[in-house]
Chain A
């Protein structure tokens, strides 16, 4: 008979779960954490300085110029937004599919979503060039007519999609944490901790009537987040697909972007989870090798989907008979000046994840860590390929020009990781990194032998 492996190892009791998950928050931070945090914070400070320069001096510091009006900021924006998608997929879509294994990774994946969206959100705001006027993006009654925003523009759809996504995923994440904050508050030994977590818990007490409403709202939020997450990367892909530029103007973009987003997001979840497992060894009983293995399967499946999309783009370019589109794919993208970035993308996204056909590779922490890093690199390059190789050679050869990559391009890409990691490390330190109230019901204990339910 086929039996399922246990979702939580180590014969934990309900009390053990509370203690294990609260432990990292209740002890003095380890040297490892302090070291990582200092590094991340230094990168964040560097990032702030670089962004200060880009805001103060102007967008000219970056390589964006005619004809490459979009560059690192847009590429990195799409990269981070995509990362976020896996979190919502795990927390919402797998919840709707009743995938119980999601419980122990959902919280951290959602946190990753929130921080990735925060990191991503800065880029389009700064890319406007005059970020102090960004409030113009919203339709509010003003004294300029009132002049309204252009609701027919995909860029404006993006404003709505990303801000809705950021809001809803933050609310979803927070609602999920409320009962756990109450747990931490009730365990608190000192007054400050009790007050802070008491405030965060909003006075949650967990009566049966409250849980009935709570579970309903959780289900509703999952149901709302599932189409939302699909809409967000669809709309991000519209930023490209609605234009008339060969290489961007394709109907496959929405599903291709969504699959790519889930692919990159799961890679980031695996990267972070391997590190969390090293940082907090006790979590290995909650985030087991089985969890890592299913995520690696998803990485491979979505990797094949993006591989299919890459192939399909070539096929359609040939099949359409459009000479400009044929040129973009068969000449410029695959063999032009940016061919190296194209083949980096193919290697990292399509070839390397194939090692996950082997069970040994799927269950090996070092292998999955390396593969997930490659996928992260490959997915950044995918957006670079889409953005830059389509722009740098369009219809008129007189218009051609390469992207003038500058120090600041590299610096904002590097720095954005500082922002993300600082937030993530603070989260690991102060918030319950596994959902306490969600893991307990998946335990086999208590679902008892003495005639319970």
Chain B
């Protein structure tokens, strides 16, 4: 993601397949810091932009295991260590009875931390971030190249975007 406040230049497309193609071409032309902005997840865009697989599943895995162990620790310590109470003659550490709690806490920890990881990865919540065009959340697509990208040259990029069928090219003061 481009840094907050970074200026640059953005091309706007109205066709999904055109923007995917443009993203692939942009990548081939050597730009590395560009990003595509689409109103919905566009099939094939990740490959076109060369985006790596999200790392969030690792977070899910680890926090799920933490949730499982936390539940095991909680049930074991409260039921068998801190104040063991004889309930229906069951052993103090009655593991099968604790499985539902362990399952629920696994899911709870994994789900909430995956969403927290999403917030971290996508840098939300953000208050009123700058937008390039309000239609980019509706029916238009954009590719944004920040000023600090290698070989940044406004005139060249504008020509390049136009050649790829951009309906509009905008200079963005801040994105």
Contact = CB atoms under 8 A, between A and B. Distances in A.
B42 interface: yes
B131 interface: yes
A13 B138 CA distance: 11
Contact of A208 (B35, B117, B124): B35
B41 A214 contact: yes
A235 interface: yes
Given A160-B100, A437-B40, A208 B46 contact: yes
A43 B31 CA distance: 60
B100 A157 contact: yes
Contacts of A156: 101
B139 A213 contact: no
A153 B88 CA distance: 11
B79 A205 contact: no
B94 interface: yes
A214 B118 contact: yes
A152 B51 contact: no
Contact of A161 (B35, B42, B104): B104
Contacts of A203: 124-129
Contacts of A153: 87
Interface string B13-26: 00111001101000
A179 B39 CA distance: 8
Contacts of B51: 208-209, 212
B43 A453 contact: yes
Interface residues of A, number: 70
Given A151-B75, A186-B134, A203-B125, A209 B101 contact: no
Contact of B78 (A139, A205, A446): A139
A367 interface: no
Nearest to B130: A205
Contact of B37 (A147, A207, A214, A453): A207
Interface residues of B, number: 70
A150 to B, nearest CB: 6
Contacts, number: 217
B37 A157 contact: no
Given A203-B124, A216-B54, A217-B114, A152 B39 contact: no
29 contacts: A139-B78, A146-B83, A149-B78, A154-B100, A160-B104, A161-B104, A164-B108, A168-B112, A183-B137, A186-B134, A198-B128, A205-B136, A206-B38, A207-B36, A208-B45, A210-B1, A212-B46, A215-B54, A217-B115, A220-B114, A221-B115, A224-B60, A224-B114, A227-B103, A227-B107, A238-B100, A448-B16, A452-B16, A453-B43
Interface of A: 13-15, 18, 139, 145-154, 156-157, 160-161, 164, 167-168, 171-172, 175, 178-179, 182-183, 185-187, 198, 202-217, 220-221, 224-225, 227-228, 231, 235, 238, 436-438, 440-441, 446-448, 450-453
A221 B57 CA distance: 10
B94 A171 contact: no
Given A147-B83, A207-B1, A448-B17, A168 B43 contact: no
A167 B108 contact: yes
Given A211-B41, A231-B100, 4 more contacts: A186-B137, A205-B129, A213-B56, A452-B21
B138 A186 contact: yes
B49 interface: yes
B122 interface: yes
Contacts of A438: 40
**A183, A238, A446 interface centre (most CB from chain B within 10 Å):** A446
B17 A453 contact: yes
B116 to A, nearest CB: 10
B110 A224 contact: yes
A157 B83 contact: no
